[in-house]
């Protein structure tokens, strides 16, 4: 089994804060690896370390066969790094931004022309090529930023929350592009706060307080949560929450806006009982149904478990 990115005990401190703490990671060529975790978990720091943009405090890493400590400059041509924040030249046009990155990476003039045309079409930006980056929609800015990271055709992509704050349609378009790159064999590590996106990855790593807590396929992660899922839509979710939490067979209650997601031991069996219990307490519900468990429930459940274990240790 070949490995294209490998870290051993990779650690980055900011003063006393272990932003990335003893990370062991092995990514195979062609993986579409999702990095998820709450704000401050260490996702950005991990990606910046792998991009050679930050010094390593401890441990080691190799990217495309190069040692991150001793050969960071050799790694640069191998990776395309897309930062979480806006990274384009606002006053330059779409085309000028692409040209800028092409020159930065020493792409030859002949290749530049061919690649620029292809990437513009790929990102759906051909008709906007003269528009200044600042005047593009959020989704188009993200696609342009991705196109700029692809101009030197890196085999590895490190994308830091590329779809955060982007509308759902653009988000889907962006993922269609990622899927194409993935099918072409590009190795991709992408961080995301969106669990439906994590579900599209071949493997997902959950970071928490600088550590990689779980690293598995979406299917296996979903299988880790116990029980069946029942969604209910009560008139008064707070009152309903209190009632259902104390019912036998209800393992966990999660809040999604005004809906409640209940993990129960046996969905078929518990659904009518829950409806009945709420009715008896005078809680009106607009609907209740069995639903398949998603990554979202799995992650909330796992993070809760991790947090309660951390509390017990204190
Ligand atoms: N440049 C920095 N200086 C000091 N602390 C930082 C810096 N960058 C990140 N951190 C800290 O490191 C931890 C991890 O941050 P980050 O990698 O940005 O997490 P995430 O991307 O998962 O939100 C946080 O506690 C954050 O405050
Ligand atoms: Mg971040």
Partnered with residue 264 across adjacent β-strands are 228, 250
Spatial contact of 162 and 197, defined as CB atoms under 8 Å apart: no
**CA 152 / ligand 2 centre spacing (Å):** 24
Q: Domain limits of the chain?
A: 5-222, 226-292
pLDDT of residue 1: 64
pLDDT of residue 235: 94
Considering every ligand atom, which ligand is closest to the CA of 13?
A: 1
- Which of 13, 45, 164, 198 gets mutated to test ligand 1 (max ligand atoms within 8 A of its CB)? 45
Helix (H) or strand (E) segment spanning residue 60: strand 58-63
Q: What is the DSSP letter of 121?
A: H
State the alpha helices, DSSP H only, in the chain. 43-50, 72-75, 94-104, 109-122, 138-150, 168-183, 195-198, 218-223, 237-245, 267-280, 295-313
Which CATH superfamily includes the segment(s) 226-292?
YebC, transcriptional regulation domain (3.30.70.980)
**CA 279 / ligand 2 centre spacing (Å):** 44
Which phi and psi (to 5°) does residue 19 adopt? -65, -40
Pocket, ligand 1, Cβ cutoff 6 A: 14, 17, 19, 37, 39-45
- Which of 11, 12, 18, 19 gets mutated to test ligand 1 (max ligand atoms within 8 A of its CB)? 19
- Whose Cα sits closest to atom 13 in ligand 1? 19
pLDDT of residue 312: 85
pLDDT of residue 181: 93
C-alpha–C-alpha distance, residues 10 and 35, integer Å? 15
Flag residues of the chain having pLDDT under 50: none
- Which of 21, 40, 49, 81 gets mutated to test ligand 1 (max ligand atoms within 8 A of its CB)? 40
pLDDT of residue 79: 96
Spatial contact of 204 and 33, defined as CB atoms under 8 Å apart: yes
**CA 185 / ligand 1 centre spacing (Å):** 31
Which CATH superfamily includes the segment(s) 5-222?
P-loop containing nucleotide triphosphate hydrolases (3.40.50.300)
Spatial contact of 291 and 230, defined as CB atoms under 8 Å apart: yes
- Burial letters for 83-122: b for 16+ Cβ neighbours within 10 Å, e otherwise? beeebbeeeebbbbbbbebbeebebeeeebeebbeebbeb
pLDDT of residue 227: 87
pLDDT tens-digit readout, 140-167: 999 999 999 999 999 999 999 999 988 8
């Amino acid at each position: 089994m070949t490995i294209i990115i490998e870290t051993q005990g990779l650690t980055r401190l900011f003063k006393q804060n272990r932003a990335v703490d003893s990370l062991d990671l092995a990514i195979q060529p062609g993986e579409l690896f999702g990095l998820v975790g709450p704000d401050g978990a260490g996702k950005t720091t991990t990606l910046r370390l792998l991009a050679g943009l930050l010094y390593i405090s401890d441990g080691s890493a190799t990217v495309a066969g190069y040692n991150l400590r001793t050969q960071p400059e050799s790694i640069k041509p191998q990776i395309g790094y897309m930062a979480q924040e806006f990274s384009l030249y606002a006053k330059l046009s779409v085309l000028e931004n692409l040209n800028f990155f092409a020159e930065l990476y020493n792409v030859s003039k002949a290749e530049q022309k061919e690649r620029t045309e292809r990437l513009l079409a790929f990102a759906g930006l051909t008709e906007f090529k003269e528009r200044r980056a600042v005047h593009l929609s959020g989704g188009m800015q993200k696609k342009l930023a991705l196109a700029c990271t692809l101009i030197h055709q890196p085999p590895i992509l490190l994308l830091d929350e590329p779809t955060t704050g982007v509308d759902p349609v653009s988000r889907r378009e962006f993922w269609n592009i990622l899927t194409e790159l993935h099918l072409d064999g590009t190795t991709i590590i992408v961080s995301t706060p969106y669990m439906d996106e994590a579900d599209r990855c071949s493997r997902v790593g959950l970071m928490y307080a600088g550590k990689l807590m779980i690293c598995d396929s979406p299917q296996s992660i979903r299988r880790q949560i116990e029980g069946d899922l029942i969604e209910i839509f009560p008139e008064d979710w707070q009152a309903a929450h209190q009632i259902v939490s104390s019912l036998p067979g209800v393992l966990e209650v999660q809040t999604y806006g005004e809906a409640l997601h209940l993990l129960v031991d046996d969905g078929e069996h518990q659904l009518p009982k829950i409806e009945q219990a709420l009715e008896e307490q005078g809680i009106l519900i607009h609907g209740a149904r069995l639903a398949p468990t998603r990554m979202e429930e799995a992650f909330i459940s796992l993070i809760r478990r991790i947090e309660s274990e951390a509390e017990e240790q204190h």
